[in-house]
Structure 1
Amino acid sequence: MPNVTPLLIALACGAGAALALRGAWRRRAVNRWPEALATVERTEVQAVDDHHRRADRDDHPRRFLARIHYRLEVEGSEYRSDNGRFDGVPDFPSREAAEAFLAQTPPGSRLTVRYDPAAPTLTQHGEQHLPTARLGLAAFLGMAAMGALWVWW
């Protein structure tokens, strides 16, 4: 009976590579979204304690999220969004670091965001970038899938 373990590994790695490539493709599409000027309405720092066991709480310090709430106008309609809709809210090891980040965009300031034309509340704030980590993951998983297929063959 042939060993099917390498074949299963190849299938799992191939599926993972496909998902990573899909994520990179979606990021490429986000870089092409139209831009709009948004006005910062308010900022806030949120403490995050997502540890479920008491032992984890002692070993890991809290994280602090720097959330920016803003409004933007698209084709005559006003929408509200925040910096956590697409990439996630930036997190920091201390409240002071999060507040320093938020001090760069005080309420009333203007910033440029990219928005999804089909759903303008889905916005991306920040620089355009290539998803190099996802592309690297896709390449690694693709090579692992080919290696597993070579072993299986």
Structure 2
Amino acid sequence: MRLTIKATLKHLTLLSACLILSACGCENTPDETVLISGETFTLEVASTEAAIQRGMGGRKSLARNDGMLFVFPEARSRRFWMKNCLIPLDIMFLDARGRITAIHQMPAEPLQTENETLSEYEDRLPGYRSLLGAQYAIELQYGRISELGLKTGEKIELPFDCLKTRLP
């Protein structure tokens, strides 16, 4: 009888989790649709270590209202760089509630040369810091953050509960 009760409880827990996720509108897609300053953006979600490390590296273009949303398990100081990035980007760092803590324009940097070690290449890349604790970062097309009139302290509404489910 105990096994039956335990099995029933496990099934009820799983069913409850599924209902909660479906109620919040979480979809198992690689992108999130986010409204930023009245414009709709399609943001590719990077929540695994591999996806975060890869970032926008190697991409040759980025559509006007596309970007990448980086999701971290906790808010802390972050540093991004433009390793292997072929296009310039804007970045905004957000705290756990979606408030913008820092904004940077990141020009594309020359790629690693034949005469350069990986360490030398990485050492010459500038770092772009969050300044305060950041749990999220959003990269957009270069110049878009300024066009949208965004400033530090403003809030971006994100589907926080759904984003937590994307963490490994």
Q: State if a TM-score over 0.5 links the two structures.
A: no
Structure number with greater CO (CA < 8 Å, separation at least 6) is 1
Between structures 1 and 2, the one with greater helix share: 1
- Which structure has the larger Rg over C-alpha atoms? 1
Quickly name the TM-score band, shorter chain normalised.
Answer: under 0.3
